[in-house]
Amino acid sequence: MKVLVTGGAGFIGSTTCSALEDGGHTPVILDSLVSGPAAFTSGRIFYQGDMADAALLRRIFDEHPDIEATLHFAARIVVSESVARPGLYYRENVVGSLALFETLLALGQRRVIFSSSASIYESPADLRVNERSPLRPLSPYARSKRMTEEMLEDLCTASQATQTPMRAIALRYFNPVGADPALRSGPYVPDPTHILGRLMAVAQGRAEHFEITGTDYATRDGTGLRDYIHVWDLALAHVAALEGFDSAFARSASDGNPEVSFLPINVGTGNGVTVRELVTAFQQVSPTPITVRDGARRAGDSAGACADTGRAQSYLGWAAQLSAAQAMEAAFAWEAVRDQKLSDADSSGRTR
């Protein structure tokens, strides 16, 4: 299948492009390169531009009339930046996505897979969330993800009365870590703000110590609990959502779910790992020792949650296969080749 991939030069989008290609599909990337590197588009069909550019989208669909679905990854993703510059996040993530969806509707496109986030959930007492659990996005970034979901649901619902009804699956990612095991792409920012990035910075001597932010949460060891998903498993979840798109809605309907045109699905492992447990596992694979200090909670953080993955298993036939330890091994392997891979921008890439 040929698919439009917005944000296909990014960390998760590029990994998903590799999984799509492995599965015999053809990604057509639209990315502004505001953060993703050109190197990850190398050898792929690539249009540089903004997802809100309707004229560019029309050209892409004119040149690729056989595109059957859109995987929408493009977004600004840094939580702290979203707190400092909320307008940027609402304009880019929400207004930009609205423009994209309206163009897709005008073009008669019927399938959208949207990158949502588990950060929209409230952290519950039992630390496990399903797709009907209460929501409480705590940052402008998380709110931009939830707003985009709501907007997409309304647009899909209204389109059911038209000649070209559109449906959408929102994949609510938990905590992606690791890299493509074949090392085609991976985290490209030298010091990403997520936990593995911060641990890696200490392991490589770019930071002096790792601070555990919060040790008094109601978890088994007091540190925050997360559901770390290997980015390759996450990429394969997109392939499963694409290939099983129509049947997911059929299964949801036969379950009596009211969601006829918009289906949120958690993508996690279902296993919660505490920050302290992850740090211990990291210390076991790190070639250099890590200094760890306990620190205070960060504003806006919660005890966390892990995924109830029942829907992903029953509607998509997908379940995570890889462990957090395998994600860390892939992350180390990627670090060793990252600079060389990023400078490998192949001028033969079909950039438009």
Ligand X SMILES: NC(=O)c1ccc[n+]([C@@H]2O[C@H](COP(=O)([O-])OP(=O)(O)OC[C@H]3O[C@@H](n4cnc5c(N)ncnc54)[C@H](O)[C@@H]3O)[C@@H](O)[C@H]2O)c1
Binding stretches for ligand X (CB under 6 A): 6-7, 9-13, 31-36, 50-51, 73-77, 92, 96, 115, 117, 173, 176, 194
With beta carbons less than 8 A apart as the criterion, state whether 216 and 134 touch. no
Taking the complex as a whole, how short is the minimal distance between the CB of residue 172 and ligand X, in angstroms?
8
CB of 80 to ligand X, least distance (A): 13
Nearer residue to ligand X within complex by CB, 30 or 212: 30
Q: Which is nearer to ligand X, 257 or 323 (CB)?
A: 323
For residue 307, what is the enclosing H or E element? strand 306-307
Catalytic residue among 89, 90, 121, 141: 141
35 or 257, CB closer to ligand X? 35
Cβ-based nearer residue to ligand X, 10 or 27 = 10
Tell the smallest beta-carbon distance from residue 135 to ligand X (Å). 14
Contacts of 153 (CB under 8 A, 6+ apart): 168, 261, 262
Of residues 11 and 210, the one with the C-beta less far from ligand X: 11
Q: CB 97 → ligand X: shortest distance, Å?
A: 9
* Separation CA 120–CA 266 (nearest Å): 11
Rounded to an integer, what is the distance from CA 210 to the centroid of its chain? Answer: 25
Residue 132 CB, shortest distance to ligand X, in Å, is: 19
Q: How far is the CB of 241 from ligand X (least distance, A)?
A: 13
Within 13 Å of residue 272, how many CA atoms lie on the same side as its CB? 19
> DSSP readout, 107-144?
TT--EEEEEEEGGGB---TTSEE-TTS-B---SHHHHH
Q: Quick check: 82 and 300 in contact, CB under 8 A? A: no
Q: Which of 107, 41, 43 is nearest to 74 (CA)?
A: 41
Is 48 or 257 the residue whose CB approaches ligand X more closely?
48
Residue 315 annotated among the catalytic residues of the structure: no
Q: What share of the chain is helix, strand, coil (3-state, %, to 5)?
A: 40, 20, 40
Which of 73, 305, 335 lies closest to 192, judged by CA? 335
For the record, the structure tokens of 223 come out as: 């540190």
Per-residue b or e along 147-170, where b marks 16 or more CB atoms closer than 10 Å to that residue's CB: bbbeebbebbbebeeeeebbbbbb
Q: Which residues are catalytic?
A: 141
